[in-house]
């Protein structure tokens, strides 16, 4: 019998929602009246996602390839040993993320520091440690060179290239490869950067490759193919002999609505969600044109971590506002901001078997003092839900914990998982009001 992992429903059971081999209801009971909301991770799902990518990357042989994890999606330090054990690279976007990666034993050559506005301190740290820096612009390169001279060290860099691919079919806030994006340098405006690198080549700087990021929630793999096709001609090894890395970034979308069939009115969209195999196959053919000395870095974003975590919340009550029935819960935009920020969908359902109860459409809203504080609109849930009942908000592993806040002086939630013996492991303690105030009282 195949062992199941991750989050799934065992239909026909009294406690149908499971994490790995344990029911979520039993997990909650073992916590003994835990404060809600809280985050619950399946590390088995996370490992499976990593392994699936790495198995598919083998199909690109003889092209060498590596997987890179975007720390901004979720920087819980307990994820890092899993990534390190699997020899996954890390893409960082701040000095804090870079320092966390280095302090957890990641080799500098396996860390990429990306960003359109790097601080002096973080640039100095990256060069001193030997981390790969993404050059975002001409001014960015000038500052990198300045610190390389001060430290008397060579800066190892990639150039973040903007290939002017705007038809990515994602939310406007998630587009990173259009001509007007704040990230990267347009592909037809690279010559000033090239010239400055040549002037300082092998003295203060070495160009190792190119990076492109296509945005988040990518569902059209054709755009990935086009990106690779545009970047391959940039590999002029005669001009830059150290070129050896092509880094393709972009958050492959996941099926956020895969559980929607459980609720009769929450229907799946017609958008085709690419598989990991689809992603890899989309770049296989154009990569054949690369020199055999080039190594591919694949940075697929949310698809590594998103489905590895759920948010557990409690019902506070029901109310009617005109024709809208609202279900008020104790989770909010401070724990799961994506619906408010991007109008993103997260599936919401009970943890219990209530399939015989009539379901009606609810707007699921939080208690934060903002009209935009909602977790889902017109979600079909049992009309018998009452104060204290538990709900699960699915697929919150990416860009929920890392974007959480203390708005309205709300403590950020605890984070848990189950270890290999199915014992509860605390990944992060719930904050207290004292924690929130501590930094204000400095003598």
Distance (Å, whole) CA 74 – CA 401: 7
Distance (Å, whole) CA 170 – CA 181: 14
Distance (Å, whole) CA 91 – CA 298: 11
Distance (Å, whole) CA 337 – CA 327: 17
Cβ 135 vs Cβ 158: under 8 Å:
yes
Can 18 be counted among the known catalytic residues? no
DSSP H or E segment with residue 295: strand 295-299
Active-site residue, selected from the candidate residues 212, 309, 369, 380: 369
User: What is the end-to-end Cα distance of the chain in Å, rounded?
Assistant: 61
Strand partners, 211: 160, 247
Q: What is the 3-state secondary structure (H, E, C) of 345-412?
A: CCCEEECCCCCCCCEEEEEEECCCCCCCCEEEEEEEEECCCCCCCEEEECCCCCCCCCCCCCHHHCCC
Cβ 440 vs Cβ 432: under 8 Å:
no
Distances (CA, A) of 1 to 4, 248, 279, 435: 9, 38, 30, 47
- Name every residue whose Cβ is closer than 8 Å to that of residue 359 and which is 6 or more positions away in sequence: 263, 264, 265, 380, 381, 382, 383
- β-strand pairing of 295-299 with 64-70: parallel
* DSSP characters over 72-97: GG---GGGHHHHHHTT-EEEE-SHHH
DSSP H or E segment with residue 275: none
Cβ 278 vs Cβ 330: under 8 Å:
no
Distance (Å, whole) CA 405 – CA 62: 45
- Name every residue whose Cβ is closer than 8 Å to that of residue 336 and which is 6 or more positions away in sequence: 311, 346, 375, 393, 396, 400
Q: Does residue 300 sit in helix, strand or coil? A: coil
Which sequence positions are flagged as catalytic? Answer: 369
């Amino acid at each position: 019998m195949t062992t199941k992992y991750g989050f799934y429903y065992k239909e026909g059971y009294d406690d149908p929602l499971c994490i790995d081999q344990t029911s979520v209801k039993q997990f909650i009971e073992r916590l003994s009246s835990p404060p809600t909301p809280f985050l619950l991770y399946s590390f088995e799902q996370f490992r499976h996602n990593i392994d699936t990518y790495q198995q598919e990357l083998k199909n690109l042989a003889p092209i060498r390839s590596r997987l890179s994890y975007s720390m901004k999606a979720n920087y819980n330090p307990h994820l890092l040993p899993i990534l390190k054990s699997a020899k996954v690279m890390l893409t960082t976007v701040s000095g804090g993320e870079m320092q966390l990666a280095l302090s957890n034993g990641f080799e500098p050559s396996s860390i990429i520091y990306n960003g359109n506005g790097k601080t002096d301190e973080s640039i100095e740290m990256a060069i001193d440690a030997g981390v790969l820096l993404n050059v975002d612009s001409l001014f960015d390169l000038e500052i990198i060179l300045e610190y390389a001279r001060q430290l008397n060290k060579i800066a190892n860099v990639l150039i973040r290239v903007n290939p002017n691919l705007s038809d990515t079919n994602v939310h406007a806030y998630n587009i990173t490869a259009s001509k007007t994006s704040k990230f990267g340098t347009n592909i037809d405006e690279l010559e000033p950067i090239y010239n400055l690198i040549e002037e300082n080549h092998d003295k203060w700087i070495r160009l190792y490759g190119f990076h492109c990021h296509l945005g988040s929630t990518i569902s059209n793999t054709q755009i990935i193919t086009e990106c690779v096709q545009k970047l391959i001609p940039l590999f002029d090894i005669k001009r830059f002999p150290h070129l050896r890395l092509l880094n393709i970034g972009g958050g492959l979308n996941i099926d956020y609505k895969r559980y929607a069939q459980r609720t009769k009115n929450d229907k799946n969209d017609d958008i085709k969600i690419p598989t990991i195999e689809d992603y890899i196959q989309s770049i296989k053919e154009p990569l054949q044109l690369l020199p055999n000395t080039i190594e591919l870095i694949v940075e697929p974003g949310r698809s590594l971590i998103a489905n590895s975590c759920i948010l557990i919340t409690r019902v506070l009550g029901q109310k009617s506002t005109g024709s809208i029935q609202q279900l008020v819960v104790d989770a909010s935009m401070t724990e799961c901001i994506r619906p408010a920020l991007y109008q993103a969908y997260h599936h919401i359902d009970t943890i219990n078997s209530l399939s015989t109860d009539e379901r009606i459409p609810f707007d699921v809203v939080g208690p934060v003092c903002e009209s935009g504080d909602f977790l889902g609109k017109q979600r079909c849930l049992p009309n018998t839900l009452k104060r204290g009942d538990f709900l699960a908000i699915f697929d919150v592993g990416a860009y929920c914990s890392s974007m959480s806040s203390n708005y309205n002086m709300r403590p950020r939630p605890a984070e848990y998982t189950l270890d290999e013996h199915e014992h509860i492991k605390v990944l992060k303690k719930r904050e207290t009001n004292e924690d929130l105030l501590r930094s204000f009282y400095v003598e």
